[in-house]
């Protein structure tokens, strides 16, 4: 709840106007109404549900106008491929990128978080040793560059699939977000951790050995000299420099 | 099976004599007989089950003599605290350390692997964000120094508890062994990975930030600049220098 409260605050509080986008869900009405009501309970000025379940709706000038007027856009969970396959390249997508540049809040939970980066994880084995290329990647919404976000991270044993994603391009930063945990990314590309659990950052820039480009995609991954950071609430990370940040005041 | 075959080979093959120790199990007869029969099927010269289910038995000169005559000792799985609480400090324990120094094979699976290092993980949360001090540690058998071994590693989502163990003393090397996977440690303290999955090495010597010594043991861990290696079959690691080793011939 602390995370949703922060979303309301960042979206302008009583002066704010949050648009809830439940495109990730095959049955979007329930989650859309639930988050709308949560945001209103937490004191947002206005909250509405945007009906975007098809590419036709993502071209609707009325919907685009509502995004342009919102101070915050919130993506619910579900299937991240629904988000990108329905919104990718549409006027709604363009409006989102513009609003983000203008300083509006763009937030998401679960699939809604995964879809934020320019590369996203679509699926992959959990609780398994990392394999070379079994983690399925796809282009994301491009709201956060040079990153790949995974979620339900510790709870679903997903470090193997994030390591596999990073092995394919060690210059990309892997961000594994636990349940009830969030990152708040500022315009300076520094993020701060919110919530009760931790964020795992995987920095592959010093990788010396990897077999990721070799044959046999489902054979076990070799990967050395990965730098790993575990960051709980208050800690942060500078995505530009790759440096973890201690809580302010420490 | 490749791992057990290698154990037979290292224990001397047809000239070898393996002692199976099922102390970790509350009902040791079944696992002891099963492994004995597996080793015989795989061609070991002799294999026997050592009856050590109490400290009294671990003082038995006849049992000690059988360890001194064995070319390999194999610990089955179960509860690693049974191994250390029954064997710790006894003549059997002393004989094991001596046989190891003399070049005999000492091997173990599951709890039997966990008990090898001088610090061992007794228990801790799985599939959870790492917590400061919720991983329970105890002294192990001391056959491998400055290391802590965890097993069923990827399959049970245990990276959080191994990170928590390392945070308490970053100079110790964390070794997470997957199922159907093993490390073969040579007298030079270099190990090689065997089996179908991977070994995760956690090297904490470069850790810059940690909150492990602060209050609130079950609050989320902060830990930065951990070096992590994922090593499949053929890869290795030099425990003295902390360097991963590519397969020979590469």
Domain boundary assignment for chain B? 1-109, 116-244
Give the model's pLDDT for residue A250: 53
Question: Mind telling me how many Å the CA of A204 is from chain B's nearest CA?
Answer: 10
Give the C-alpha separation, B175 to B193, whole Å: 11
Rg (alpha carbons) of chain B, rounded to whole number: 18
* Fold category of A116-244 in CATH: Rossmann fold (3.40.50)
**Which of B129, B209, B233 is facing A244, going by the closest CB pair?**
B209
Chain segment B94-137, per-residue pLDDT in tens: 999 999 999 999 999 999 999 999 899 988 888 888 887 778 88
Q: B179 CB contacts (<8 Å, ≥6 apart)?
A: B151, B152, B155, B197
Bridge partners of residue A210, in order along the sequence: A223
- Summarised one tens digit per residue, pLDDT across range B155-202 is 999 999 999 999 988 989 999 999 999 999 999 999 999 999 999 999
Show the tokens assigned to B52: 């050590």
Contact assessment for residue A79 and residue A26, using Cβ atoms and an 8 Å cutoff: yes
Place of tokens 């709870």: A155
- Give chain B positions within 8 Å (CB) of A198: 129-130, 220-222
| Catalytic residue (choose from B25, B53, B70, B110) | B110
Q: How far apart are CA A236 and CA A3, in angstroms?
A: 15
Q: Which CATH class is domain B1-109?
A: alpha beta
Residue B29, pLDDT score: 94
- Give the dihedral sign, CA A83/A85/A88/A90: negative
Cβ of residue B222 closer than 8 Å to a chain A Cβ: yes
Characterize the bridge pairing of strands B117-123 and B144-151: parallel
Q: What is the average pLDDT value for chain B, to the nearest integer?
A: 94
For residue range B191-244, list pLDDT tens digits in order. 999 999 999 999 999 999 998 887 677 789 999 999 999 999 999 999 999 999
Å between B233 CA and nearest CA of chain A: 8
Are B232 and A226 an interchain contact pair (Cβ–Cβ within 8 Å)? no
Indicate if the pLDDT at residue A77 is higher than 90: yes
> How many CB pairs (< 8 A) connect A and B?
119
Beta pairing class for B190-195 and B236-238: antiparallel
B115's tokens? 């008990």
Per the CB < 8 A criterion, the answer to whether B109 and B54 are in contact is no
**Cross-strand bridge partners of residue B158:** none
C-alpha distance from residue A180 to each of A110, A216, B128 (Å): 10, 36, 12
Q: Tell me, what's the pLDDT at B127? A: 83
- Has residue A215 got a pLDDT over 90? no
Check residue A198 and give its pLDDT: 96
A93 pLDDT higher than 90:
yes
Q: Do A224 and B219 touch (CB under 8 A)?
A: no
A85 touches chain B (CB under 8 A): no
pLDDT band at A68 (very low <50, low <70, confident <90, very high): very high
Best A152, A153, A154, A214 member to test B by mutation, with max B CBs in 10 Å, is A154
Chain segment A172-195, per-residue pLDDT in tens: 999 999 999 999 999 999 999 999
Asked if A1-109 and A116-244 have one fold, the answer is yes
* Catalytic status, residue A117: no
Let me know: does A225 contact A202? Beta carbons within 8 Å.
Answer: no
Q: Quick check: A221 and B198 CB within 8 A?
A: yes
**pLDDT tens-place string over residues A123-133:** 888 888 888 77
Contacts of A241 by beta carbon, 8 Å cutoff, 6+ apart: none
Is the Cβ of B102 closer than 8 Å to some Cβ of chain A?
Answer: no
Quote the pTM value.
Answer: 0.89
């Amino acid at each position: 709840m602390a995370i949703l409260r922060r979303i309301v605050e960042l979206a302008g509080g009583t002066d704010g106007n949050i648009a809830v986008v439940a495109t990730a869900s095959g049955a979007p009405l329930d989650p859309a109404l639930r988050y709308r009501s949560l945001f209103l309970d937490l004191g947002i000025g206005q909250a509405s549900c945007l009906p975007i379940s098809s590419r036709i709706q993502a071209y609707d000038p009325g919907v685009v106008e509502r995004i342009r007027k919102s101070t915050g856009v919130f993506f619910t969970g579900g299937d991240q491929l629904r988000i990108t396959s329905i919104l990718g390249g549409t006027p709604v997508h363009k409006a989102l990128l513009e609003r983000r540049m203008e300083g509006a809040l763009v937030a998401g939970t679960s699939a809604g978080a995964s879809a934020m980066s320019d590369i996203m994880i679509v699926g992959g084995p959990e609780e398994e040793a990392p394999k070379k290329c079994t983690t399925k990647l796809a282009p994301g919404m491009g709201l956060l560059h040079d990153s790949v976000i995974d979620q339900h991270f510790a709870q679903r044993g997903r470090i193997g699939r994030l390591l596999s994603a990073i092995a394919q391009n060690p210059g990309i930063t892997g961000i594994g977000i636990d349940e009830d945990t969030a990152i708040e990314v500022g315009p300076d590309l520094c993020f701060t951790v919110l919530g009760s659990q931790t964020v795992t950052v995987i920095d592959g820039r010093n990788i010396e050995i990897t077999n990721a480009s070799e044959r046999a995609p489902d054979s076990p991954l070799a990967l050395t000299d990965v730098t790993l950071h575990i960051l709980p609430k208050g800690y942060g990370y500078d995505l530009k420099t790759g440096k973890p940040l201690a809580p302010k005041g420490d």
